[in-house]
Structure 1
Amino acid sequence: MLQKFNNLMDYIEAHLTEEISGKDISKIVGISDYHFKRMFSYMAGMSLNDYIKNRRLSVANVELIKGARVTDISYEYGFQSIEGFSRAFRELVY
């Protein structure tokens, strides 16, 4: 199971700019999306969705530091608006 968990983490890192579906998760870890998310929350202390959002924001932050445009980065990492992107950053910081 640990290897499957690591495979999922690799998959998430490789697909941060894409939608990651429950079907993808189930296929990689071999258990239902529902059960895996519960197990992940217990092990990581945060939901899988929060983990993915935090990883997206972390990588987006690096790109912003390198000079990328906020508009481009916010849409690339799946945020529907610049305001949503900014709100997510504020929530992460506080």
Structure 2
Amino acid sequence: MLESLNRLMDHIDQHLTEDITSQDITRIVGVSDYHFRRMFSYMAGMTLNEYIRNRRLSEANKDLIHGKSVTDVAYMYGYQSV
């Protein structure tokens, strides 16, 4: 299970600017989306959506520090407004 979790974390990091679907999660971890989200919440202390949002905000922050425009960063990470 931990190996599957690591594969999913790698997938999330590689696809932060894209939608991550429940089909992606099921394919990578090999269990239903529902069961994986419950296990993830228990192990991580936050929901999978919160984890993805925090990773996107963290990477967006790095991009802003390196001089990218706020508008470009907002749209790159899937936010509809600045």
2-structure distance, mates of 1:53, 1:74: 12
Higher relative contact order (CA 8 A, sep 6+): 2
Counterpart residue identity of residue 60, structure 1: A
Match of 2:46 in 1: 46
Which runs of 5 or more residues in structure 1 are unaligned? 83-94
Match of 1:64 in 2: 64
SS of 1:20 mapped into structure 2 = coil
Which runs of 5 or more residues in structure 2 are unaligned? none
List per-residue Cα deviations over 1:5-61 (Å, max 9, x = no partner).
Answer: 100000000000000000000000000111101110010000000000000000000
2-structure distance, mates of 1:67, 1:43: 35
Superposition pairs of residues 7-86 of structure 1, within 5 angstroms: 7-82=7-82
1-structure distance, mates of 2:59, 2:17: 10
2-structure distance, mates of 1:79, 1:55: 14
**Superposition RMSD on alpha carbons, in Å?**
0.5
Match of 1:5 in 2: 5
TM-score by length of 2: 0.98
Quick one: percent identity of the two aligned structures?
Answer: 65
Counterpart residue identity of residue 13, structure 2: E
The alignment of Structure 1 onto Structure 2 pairs a total of residues equal to: 82
- Shift of residue 81 of structure 1? 1.1
